[in-house]
Amino acid sequence: MTATQERPDTAAAKEIGRDRRRKEDQRLITGRSRWTDNITLPGMLHLAMVRSPFAHATITGIDVTEAQAAPNVVAVLTGKDLGESQGACINAWAITTDQVTPAHVPMPSDRVAFAGETVAVVVARSAAAARDAAELVDVEYDELPAALDLKEAAAADAEHGVLAHPDLGTNRSALWTFDSAEAGTGGDADQAIARARAEGIVIEREYRQQRLIPAFMEPRSTVVDPTGEQITMWSATQIPHILRFALAASTGVPESKIRVIAPDVGGGFGGKLQQTPEEMITFAVARRLGKPVKYTETRSESLMTAHHGRDQWQRLTLAAEKDGTVTGLKVELIADLGAYVSLIGGGVPVLGAFMYNAIYKFPAYHFSCQTVLTNKTWTDAYRGAGRPEATYAIERLMDELAAEVGVDPFVVREKNWITKEEFPFTTVAGLEYDTGDYESATREAKDRFGYDELRAEQRRRREAGDRVQLGIGVSTFTEMCGLAPSRVLGSLNYGAGGWEHASVRMLATGTVEVTTGASAHGQGHETAFSQIVADRLGVAFEDVEILHGDTSIASKGLDTYGSRSLVVGGEALVRAADKVIEKAKPIAAHLLEASVDDIEFSAGRFGVRGTDQGLAMAEIAMAAFAAHNLPDGIEPSLDSDATYDPVNFNYPHGTHLCAMEVDTETGGVLMRKYTCVDDVGTVINPMIVEGQVHGGLAQGIAQALWEEAVYDDSGTLVSGSFVDYLLPTSADTISFDVSHRSTASTTNTLGTKGVGEAGTIASTPAVVNAVVDAIRHLGIDDIQMPCTPERVWRAIHDVAGGGGTDTEGAAAPHFDASTGMQGTVDRTDGADR
């Protein structure tokens, strides 16, 4: 599957591959940024949400009199007041045709289904006045039993147990399955497992993917101005285009009457890939009052109500021969949707379904996922979305298989992975991996890491019976990214396509205005895309302006998620730029008095073959603008656009290695070293790529060690502030040894692969594998995430028969001198930490 334009002429590639400092930075480091909450419009009103303290309750009455009378309050509105004008929150991906999908009214008037759901909104002249008055709204509830535990909710039915939505009669939303025997992509997993039980190895495990909170640093904020011909919404969102579609589709306001702008957006990680109730309520209030309104959430509101991620139980059965050759894999998931099926919601585990076989040649595979409704915050995409869960499961299992066979974790991996010569390779899940070189990435990673030396040290410390043991974790991951071929999405019943759009406008003065439908929020599109266009058109990097995140400026697009911007959006850019060149050629030929066939374009210049005559792109742009002397039938414009629909996903991969020290007396864990070598295809800007990996690593490591959204028995989020939800700090993390290789992908012209999610997907199993590896000799083969000192301590004491419950000892800050930065903590002797 290749569908590419001509490869770039490498002589002209001055920008691609270069560590350009980012164009975005100047405004961000000087405080000239345009966050949504910065926007103030004349007469603008402010909203505060009144939220349910109960996870599940009937609303029996709302008294707004006192709030209404409070100073500077303009209106207090309930779900009844807004009625149908609020529209609905859409589920864009019913994963099965019989999926049970509860109606999701942004502000319900009869029943709340999770703690934090909005029941009334106060509109006031200032945010402070709105918040004060929100305290005065008197809501009466009849509390209902809440479905909270995922396994219990999955087992419940109308007769037994608690239902999240009693009217639905079930908590089970959809059961999605994939069977390689049925699909014709492999054999029967159950048979493979039965065979392995008789004469091979069967590894059976159950892993918990704890609930996580994306926790972007900029709280969500929305401003709606209904005073123009179009209603304008500014929102801290990853998806201005999808949001505009959803606003129109669910409120009946014509799409052409809505403009959505995502100005500077402070991080998303999937967490702002949503059509939120708050956006819908703000939109409805603005329309009703005819005034600009703003809503900005507090951090507590954000943690409680912005969608969460992960939250699955994974039952896994791996079959292998005695020598470690894998023969089958069976995956049974239950996934917590929370109270509603969100925009992508149930589709997240389905995205993972194609990745459990990972880089290995499984001959048989069976996957099933039951999505389940509970009375908790809804879940949706969080960095990696389905693929981290899959990668975690398989990379943990491969380590368990190695332990069972009694060999180094790399031995079973090498035995089973797709070799370099075997690409393109069609997997048991039905995907065609275009390229990969697991051998080289692994060799390089082991060298950089000092794998053999660390194994030797591990042996020494184990033999000496050191209190602090060393563990080494391996993760050889791949992922599918660049979402996504529209036809594939269609076959999975997804509600939209996966294409991307770009336009290139040559301005008269020779500068270039580019629009992209990929809406950045920290990824550096303005810089990397400028580099691509500069090379393609042979213009200066500084002369390219990238515009995005506004449906009136970049009118078409499908936004930023799933590591798609570069591989899909970048290809659209290349194609739009190539059309500009094609449109310029006849004009150049005309002006140079040559035949079009003799015009050659290179490094920004249209030359006549065999002569030294030529014109620069800027000169053609001016000629097109003036239009005084154009060939007949040629329009006076070089502007072009392109909409690109990918033909395949894109498969970056890498080898990640992690060394962890585990204090067997306190259960404390410390990261000593982290090395990764990722193959991300052609790199446009190495500095940005490394930054993406660093950030991804920290998030993946945080899942392994620190983060977990915890609810109490009544359904209240107890990790509801940054005091309780433990984002890593600079003192918790170390400097990483990050490098990359570049096997060009064949799925796009530039040969790029996605990189936004790689670090997150790969690192979680590397860390947990390392923790388990450090104490496996004590008889431990799993620690549930996050691997807190308490959990590690308990695991050690449970096997030792020691028992006991008192534990303490948070992970101390730690630093690594080995990564070339100044570090001071001596890591080899951890005995008295």
Partner 1 sequence: MTRIEVTVDGSKVTDDVEPRMLLVQYLRETLGKTGTVVGCDTSNCGACTVHLDGRSVKSCNVLAVQASGHEVTTIEGLAATGGHADGQLHPVQEAFRECHGLQCGFCTPGMIMQAVDLLNENPSPTEEDVRLGMEGNLCRCTGYHNIVKSVLHAAGGAR
Q: Do strands 57-63 and 138-143 pair parallel, antiparallel, or not at all (unpaired)?
A: antiparallel
The residue (of 527 and 747) whose beta carbon lies closer to partner 1 is: 527
614 binds ligand FES (CB under 6 A): no
The residue (of 381 and 617) whose beta carbon lies closer to partner 1 is: 381
Amino acid identity of residue 190, one-letter, is D
Piece of 68-76, 175-183, 443-451, 719-727 that binds partner 1 (CB under 8 A): 719-727
On whether the CB atoms of residues 268 and 684 are closer than 8 A, the answer is no
22 binds partner 1 (CB under 8 A): yes
Left, alpha or beta for 538 (phi > 0: left; psi -120 to 50: alpha)? left
Q: Of the candidates 8, 14, 35, 809, which one interacts with partner 1 according to CB under 8 A?
A: 35
Grouping H, G, I as helix, E, B as strand and the rest as coil, residue 167 is helix
Residue 28 partner contact from ligand FES, partner 1, none using kind-dependent CB cut-offs of 5 to 8 Å:
partner 1
Piece of 475-483, 567-575, 644-652, 823-831 that binds partner 1 (CB under 8 A): 823-831
Q: Of the candidates 11, 217, 464, 723, which one interacts with ligand FES according to CB under 6 A?
A: 217
By CB under 8 A, the residues from 803 to 822 that bind partner 1 are 813, 815, 817, 821-822
828 binds partner 1 (CB under 8 A): no
The residue (of 217 and 464) whose beta carbon lies closer to ligand FES is: 217
696 binds ligand FES (CB under 6 A): no
346 binds partner 1 (CB under 8 A): no
The torsion angle over the Cα atoms of residues 239, 244, 245 and 246, rounded to 10 degrees, is 80
The residue (of 48 and 154) whose beta carbon lies closer to partner 1 is: 48
The residue (of 588 and 671) whose beta carbon lies closer to partner 1 is: 671
Amino acid identity of residue 820, one-letter, is G
Pair of tokens at residue 448: 């950089």
Q: Which residue in the shown chain puts its C-beta closest to ligand FES?
A: 217
Which one-letter DSSP state was computed for residue 100? Answer: -
How does 257-285 read in b/e, with b if 16+ C-beta sit within 10 Å?
A: ebbbbbbbbbbbbbbbbbbbbbbbbbbbb
Q: Least distance (Å) from partner 1 to the CB of residue 816?
A: 8
By CB under 8 A, the residues from 245 to 274 that bind partner 1 are 264-267, 269
How many whole angstroms separate alpha carbon 148 and alpha carbon 693?
Answer: 34
Distances (CA, A) of 157 to 162, 273, 369, 373, 375: 7, 31, 18, 12, 15
699 binds partner 1 (CB under 8 A): yes
710 binds partner 1 (CB under 8 A): no
723 binds ligand FES (CB under 6 A): no
Total chain residues near ligand FES (CB under 6 A) = 4
How many whole angstroms separate alpha carbon 577 and alpha carbon 534?
Answer: 10
The residue (of 493 and 735) whose beta carbon lies closer to partner 1 is: 735
How many whole angstroms separate alpha carbon 704 and alpha carbon 9?
Answer: 44
464 binds ligand FES (CB under 6 A): no
By CB under 8 A, the residues from 495 to 554 that bind partner 1 are 521-524
Q: Least distance (Å) from partner 1 to the CB of residue 543?
A: 20
Q: Least distance (Å) from ligand FES to the CB of residue 303?
A: 13
Residue 690 partner contact from partner 1, ligand FES, none using kind-dependent CB cut-offs of 5 to 8 Å:
partner 1
Q: Least distance (Å) from partner 1 to the CB of residue 426?
A: 35
How does 728-743 read in b/e, with b if 16+ C-beta sit within 10 Å?
A: eeeebbbbbbbbbbbb
The residue (of 64 and 688) whose beta carbon lies closer to partner 1 is: 688
Left, alpha or beta for 2 (phi > 0: left; psi -120 to 50: alpha)? beta
Q: Least distance (Å) from partner 1 to the CB of residue 822?
A: 4
Q: Of the candidates 53, 161, 187, 267, which one interacts with ligand FES according to CB under 6 A?
A: 267
Pair of tokens at residue 732: 């918790």
Grouping H, G, I as helix, E, B as strand and the rest as coil, residue 222 is strand
Query: What are the helix (H) ranges across 174-290?
Result: 180-183, 189-199, 240-251, 277-289
Amino acid identity of residue 388, one-letter, is P
522 binds ligand FES (CB under 6 A): yes
Grouping H, G, I as helix, E, B as strand and the rest as coil, residue 636 is coil
The residue (of 309 and 522) whose beta carbon lies closer to ligand FES is: 522
- DSSP labels for 733-793? ----EEEEE----SSSTT-B---TTHHHHHHHHHHHHHHHHHHGGGT----PSS--HHHHH
Distances (CA, A) of 267 to 136, 271, 272, 561: 33, 8, 8, 12
On whether the CB atoms of residues 638 and 751 are closer than 8 A, the answer is no
**Cα 590 to the center of its chain, rounded Å:** 49
Piece of 94-102, 203-211, 311-319, 716-724 that binds partner 1 (CB under 8 A): 716-724
Pair of tokens at residue 292: 């600009």
By CB under 8 A, the residues from 394 to 433 that bind partner 1 are none
Left, alpha or beta for 532 (phi > 0: left; psi -120 to 50: alpha)? alpha
The residue (of 200 and 268) whose beta carbon lies closer to ligand FES is: 268
678 binds partner 1 (CB under 8 A): no
263 binds ligand FES (CB under 6 A): no
Q: Of the candidates 3, 44, 403, 687, which one interacts with partner 1 according to CB under 8 A?
A: 687
43 binds partner 1 (CB under 8 A): no
The torsion angle over the Cα atoms of residues 63, 67, 68 and 69, rounded to 10 degrees, is 120
Q: Least distance (Å) from partner 1 to the CB of residue 693?
A: 8
Q: Of the candidates 97, 629, 729, 805, which one interacts with partner 1 according to CB under 8 A?
A: 729
On whether the CB atoms of residues 48 and 282 are closer than 8 A, the answer is no
Residue 729 partner contact from ligand FES, partner 1, none using kind-dependent CB cut-offs of 5 to 8 Å:
partner 1
The residue (of 111 and 383) whose beta carbon lies closer to partner 1 is: 383
Residues that bind ligand FES (CB under 6 A): 217, 266-267, 522
Q: Applying CB under 8 A, which residues contact partner 1?
A: 21-22, 24-33, 35, 37-38, 40, 128, 215-219, 264-267, 269, 298-300, 521-524, 687-688, 690-692, 694-699, 721-723, 727-731, 733, 735-736, 738, 759, 813, 815, 817, 821-825
